[in-house]
Structure 1
Amino acid sequence: MTIASELLEQHLNTLVMDNARWKTLITDDIVWELPYAGAIGHPEKLEGRGAVETHVGWFLKAVSDFRFYDLRIMPGADPETAVAQVKAEGIINDTGHVYRQEYIVFLKASNGRIAVLREYFDPVRAAHALGTPILNTLPRE
């Protein structure tokens, strides 16, 4: 297992279940890209620890009983990169709707910590669970 693979597994195991520990895994200048999040009015890119921790804090308050499962991690050719395919589910607190999602997450490590995350998810599933409209936006390249 590579450092990036280990970090990706730790990221998914601690993001919700042990957020204080998760915060020790990220660099201060972390970049978290969410190319499809703009479709539900969320930021498509978070830069720096403050922005990432604020967004994660919102998520932790918005969702209950959230868990990842069926995790598959594929190390990259570069030991500082890895990709995960994972499913997740939880309850959106404001709507009471079940949120089921499938994610693809790319991770790049730097000095043994998470420097870059790029997360793909289905914004339609998120919109239905959140009770929010799909905005007429396409991801920026």
Structure 2
Amino acid sequence: MDSAIILLNKYLQSIRDPKAAAALFADDGVLELPYLSSLGPTTGAQGPMAIEKFITGLLDKVPDFRFKDVHILIDTPSQVFGEYSVEALVPTTGKVYKQMYAGRLVAENGKIKLLRESLDTVAAQKAFTSAS
């Protein structure tokens, strides 16, 4: 059974394959970005199908989205906390989305029960908003 750190690493490595990334989540697993609400109505997804759709939508907006520079700060068998970054072009705005994420993953029965990520919403808004 995969531990929290193994699940987080698998998720980060498979983000470009929405089906594979979503399959790591429990049937009632949640991908949550609570601070994203200022940028729109979607702050996450619950269940593998919804998570796959969420990740697919992200990749539609940022085709080169991929995580890098992973730093694990807390690691227990059932929980892990780390920081990881993204730097990718947003084709619709021509701007680079440069972001540092902080993620807390809770594992249960070898699946992701919760992945709560925080990010800099100002950096996200700047990258996804066209200049007027």
Q: TM-score, normalised by structure 2?
A: 0.87
CA distance in 2, matches of 1:41, 1:19: 21
Per-residue displacement from partner, 1:5-47 (whole Å, max 9, x unpaired)? Answer: 111111111112x333223211121112211100111423422
Distance apart, 1:71 and its partner CA: 0.6
- Report the equivalent of 1:136: none
CA distance in 2, matches of 1:63, 1:93: 7
* Paired residue secondary structure (1:66): coil
Counterpart residue type for residue 31 of structure 1: V
Distance apart, 1:93 and its partner CA: 2.3
* Paired residue secondary structure (2:93): coil
- Report the equivalent of 2:68: 69
**5+ unaligned residues in a row in structure 2: which ranges?**
none
Superposition misfits of 4+ residues, deviation over 4 angstroms: none
RMSD: 1.9
- Report the equivalent of 1:126: 124
Counterpart residue type for residue 54 of structure 2: H
- Report the equivalent of 1:94: 92
* Paired residue secondary structure (1:64): coil
Native 8 Å contact 2:18 2:53 kept in 1: no
**5+ unaligned residues in a row in structure 1: which ranges?**
133-141
Aligned length: 130
* Paired residue secondary structure (2:115): strand
Q: TM-score, normalised by structure 1?
A: 0.82
Counterpart residue type for residue 129 of structure 1: A
